[in-house]
Amino acid sequence: DAGVIQSPRHEVTEMGQEVTLRCKPISGHDYLFWYRQTMMRGLELLIYFNNNVPIDDSGMPEDRFSAKMPNASFSTLKIQPSEPRDSAVYFCASSLVEGREQYFGPGTRLTVT
């Protein structure tokens, strides 16, 4: 079975540009999570969805960040406008049951110059 799929794997953009990260969860998983990882802050949960509905977005740093899940097999995380401090690795993960095993995608390394 295919795991969690993310695209792009690397993104380099200039400050002020819009960035869109994409994720396809494991088929049948009802929960989808977006994380950000930096050396300074570690792994941070940004937002998670259950059955395509956002459940907790308290980790979204500010209004420049938005996430959608239009269907069970696709989610996006958008940053507009991007800033250098947004540079990080963004992971998408999915799980079958809330609070149980989560499986991570390969991540998107974002660099904002």
Partner 1 sequence: QKEVEQNSGPLSVPEGAIASLNCTYSDRGSQSFFWYRQYSGKSPELIMSIYSNGDKEDGRFTAQLNKASQYVSLLIRDSQPSDSATYLCALEGFSGGYNKLIFGAGTRLAVHP
From 5, 45, 68, 73, residue interacting with partner 1 (rule: CB under 8 A): 45
Interface residue with partner 1, options 51, 56, 83, 113 (CB under 8 A)? 56
Q: Among 32, 52, 48, 50, which residue's Cα sits nearest to residue 93?
A: 32
Which runs of E-coded beta strand occur in the chain? 5-7, 10-13, 19-24, 31-38, 42-50, 53-56, 65-71, 74-79, 88-95, 103-104, 108-112
Nearest to partner 1 of 74, 103 (CB atom): 103
By the rule CB under 8 A, 28 interacts with partner 1? no
Only one of the segments 13-21, 22-30, 40-48, 65-73 lies at the binding site for partner 1 (rule: CB under 8 A); that segment is 40-48
Q: Which of 34, 49, 65, 91 binds partner 1 (CB under 8 A)?
A: 91
Which of 29, 107, 110, 112 contacts partner 1 by CB under 8 A? 107
How far from chain centre, in Å, is Cα 33? 6
